[in-house]
Structure 1
Amino acid sequence: MTTQHQHLVYGHATAHDCLAFADAGTATEEAAEIQALAAARTWGEARQVRMTHLSHPAGPDCYEPEDGYGDDKPFDIAEVGAVVEGYWPPMVTTRALDVLPQDLRDRYAKAVHTVHNGEYLDVPTDSEAELVAELRARGYEVSRDDELINLLDGFSLGSLTS
């Protein structure tokens, strides 16, 4: 058994009704990027949001001012194509494929294939205690934050600013 020294954050992913795991080292910064974009009031403000961890679904290479998305035009994240289509932010449930050890994925979860967004890991909520205990026994630091997990998933993006 390999010992890891990684900090994971996890929580109940409302959209998939399962547990989701993410790297705690970047999760808060990624959530801040999502919140910053959701808080933009105009397309100009949206284009100014700096993305270092996530792609920019409202960036200049996606929406040109001359195509009707001028800097002073009202911006609503819930109307951005990648958000509407479910591509942005990426499903939080996909992250477990990268951060959980393969043997634990095999034992506690199942891979689910989606038509449009690829594969994600369905980690049943009833396996929480055992899985978290195993991770901690391997040296992982594990903390639960449902709000952060759902923010990373873009759950209720249209209402983030209300």
Structure 2
Amino acid sequence: MTTHPLVYGHATHHDCLAFVDADTAAGEATEIRALAAARTWGEARQVPMTHLDNPADNDGDEDDDEPFDLTEVGAVVDGRWPRMVTTRAFEALPQDLREKYGRRELTVHDGDYLEISLDREGELVAELRGRGYQVTRDDDLVNLLDGRDLGALAG
């Protein structure tokens, strides 16, 4: 059985576990950090994005030389960028495990996410590993992918 490696962690925004595809997680994190480091709108628009949409491309009419602050971009302020990390389990986890360990929750603005209780971590990770998944915990990466503390990255 061929499986993808997974990264998971405690997603603080929803206070539950989140699972993401490890093959793309590091690349997404690099893109988020690069965008947060941009000093001007022109720099922000030039950040190469392979895994994520660049919210600076779709926001406002700012001139390229105007100062850029990722935390003030409309999609970030509205909570639409980056996409909620807790939605990723719908793609990353097998359906039977989603049903066994998670509960579908609905948000008013962002749609459904999978709530996986922190106290189910040991059982779920053991079952994934038993099926051949490579599973690594990285809370910082999971929360970065969820858009937590973006302002701290710009420093």
TM-score range, shorter chain: over 0.9
For residue 4 of structure 1, report the CA deviation from its aligned partner. Answer: 4.1
Cα distance in 1 for residues equivalent to 2:119 and 2:106: 21
Residue identity opposite 2:94 in structure 1 = P
Tell me the C-alpha RMSD between the 2 structures.
1.0
* Mapped pair 1:12 → 2:10: yes
- Unpaired stretches in structure 2, ≥5 consecutive residues: none
**Equivalent residue number for residue 128 of structure 1:** 121
Cα distance in 2 for residues equivalent to 1:126 and 1:63: 40
Cα distance in 2 for residues equivalent to 1:97 and 1:48: 31
Within 5 Å, give how 1:43-54 maps onto structure 2. 43-54=41-52
For residue 72 of structure 1, report the CA deviation from its aligned partner. Answer: 1.0
Cα distance in 2 for residues equivalent to 1:29 and 1:58: 18
Residue identity opposite 1:52 in structure 2 = T
Provide, for residues 19-49 of structure 1, a one-character-per-residue CA deviation record: whole Å limited to 9, x for no partner.
0000000100001101111111100110000
Provide, for residues 55-113 of structure 1, a one-character-per-residue CA deviation record: whole Å limited to 9, x for no partner.
11001xx246xx3x111100000110000000000000000011101111111110101
Residue identity opposite 2:105 in structure 1 = V
- Unpaired stretches in structure 1, ≥5 consecutive residues: none
Instruction: Give the conservation status (yes or no) of the 8 Å contact 2:59–2:73.
Output: no
Which of the residues 67, 75, 81 maps onto 2:68? 75
Cα distance in 2 for residues equivalent to 1:63 and 1:123: 33
* Mapped pair 1:142 → 2:135: yes
Count of aligned residue pairs for this structure pair: 155
Residue identity opposite 1:111 in structure 2 = R
Which of the residues 55, 58, 73 maps onto 2:56? 58
